[in-house]
Structure 1
Amino acid sequence: MSHTTSKGGEGPSSEEENVGRWKTSKRAPTNRELEEWHKNCTLPSCNWRKGWEERQRSDQPAQNQDQEKVEREEGKVAEKEEEKEKKEEEEEEWEQEKSRAETLKALHKSCPMKGCIHKADNP
């Protein structure tokens, strides 16, 4: 089984010797092992290389989907953090406004102006 590789040259390589060992062992190589072994084969009609390429293409969308899922989850976490920060800012603003109103009421408690909106007893 002497394939021409992209590295050039012919003859048994260490990969081909491994295949020779498979032939003499009781265990046959798996399709995946054969596809992996043939991935650099330059013969246009090499079905094992085509199988390896097809597997690479079919694995790629799954990796992209995983990446998209991670990005969506990170986006959700970021949105929740932004909402939490916004809520905290709104609460802080409310506390400041409340404090300011109480201060004005205290200052205007004895205001001589009739109908002063800052007086505590004025609705």
Structure 2
Amino acid sequence: MGRILAIDYGKKRTGIAVTDPMKIIASGLCTVATYDLNKWLEEYIVSEDVETIVIGEPKQMDYTDSELGGVINAFAKALQVKYPNIKIERMDERFTSKMAFQTMIDSGLNKKQRRNKALVDEIAATIILQSYMDRIR
């Protein structure tokens, strides 16, 4: 059984989350510098059985693409070409960074820990993944 991998793509950093092999639990995995993302994905996909990649889809409140929308669309299309046996899905990511920050507060992280933007990105990817899992159930 393959895992589901979620990507919260950003200009500088990309948050990554993944399910367990049984696709029951969504967990934050890491944050990768965006310029290293393709290399990281190649290595990960070779070592793990990935069935689906869910990419956050940044939209404005009026559902138009955000600033990074075109870049992320091109990234998603390139992944589909490079990995034709992996399903590429998109998931609305509006408010995930705010939800991630609130999750950090609710978890009791102190102010210094909440400034860790890499952790925010990883949690946002986990929220995207959990939302996707909820949608497909």
Q: State the TM bucket, normalised to the shorter chain.
A: under 0.3
> Between Structure 1 and Structure 2, which shows a larger proportion of helix residues?
1
User: TM (normalized to structure 2)?
Assistant: 0.22
> Between Structure 1 and Structure 2, which shows a larger proportion of strand residues?
2
Give the number of the structure whose alpha-carbon radius of gyration is greater.
1
Q: Determine which structure has greater relative contact order: mean sequence separation of CA pairs < 8 Å that are 6+ residues apart, divided by chain length.
A: 2
